[in-house]
Amino acid sequence: MAELPPCPQCDCQWTYEDGALLVCPECAHEWSADAPANAGDGEATKVWRDANGAELADGDTVTVIKDLKIKGTSQVVKVGTKVKNIRLVDGDHDIDCRIDGVGQMGLKTEFVKKA
């Protein structure tokens, strides 16, 4: 009898085959014997793109392409403002950054272009 791999969830040795699947009797985990053990969680890697479709990365410098009102203030981030050392985030905005004279703020990628 072929040696079956241990359960990837709980390391149980007593796994058995059920059709195309392997099944763990300890934690009831089922998985495909064909899938590589380190196949990640299947989540696509998010890519951030600027207004021109260029890929953005942490630490990039971008330029604001539209006057942006800062929430809760009368301040505006003017077109052409350079924003250094951006940090990409996955939230209600896309970029965390510090702007001179403004401070910490969040930006949307569609309002910037890579400098």
Q: By the criterion CB under 5 A, which residues form the site for Zn ion?
A: 7, 9-10, 12, 24, 26-27, 29
Asked whether 48 and 88 are in contact (CB, 8 A), the reply is yes
Choose among 9, 33, 111, 31: nearest CA to 69.
111
CB of 107 to Zn ion, least distance (A): 45
Nearer to Zn ion, 39 or 76 (CB): 39
Radius of gyration of the chain (CA): 24
CB of 33 to Zn ion, least distance (A): 14
Asked whether 86 and 58 are in contact (CB, 8 A), the reply is yes
CB of 4 to Zn ion, least distance (A): 12
Nearer to Zn ion, 15 or 81 (CB): 15
Nearer to Zn ion, 26 or 55 (CB): 26
Distances 91 to 50, 55, 101, 108 between C-alpha atoms, Å: 16, 18, 24, 10
Nearer to Zn ion, 3 or 90 (CB): 3
CB of 52 to Zn ion, least distance (A): 49
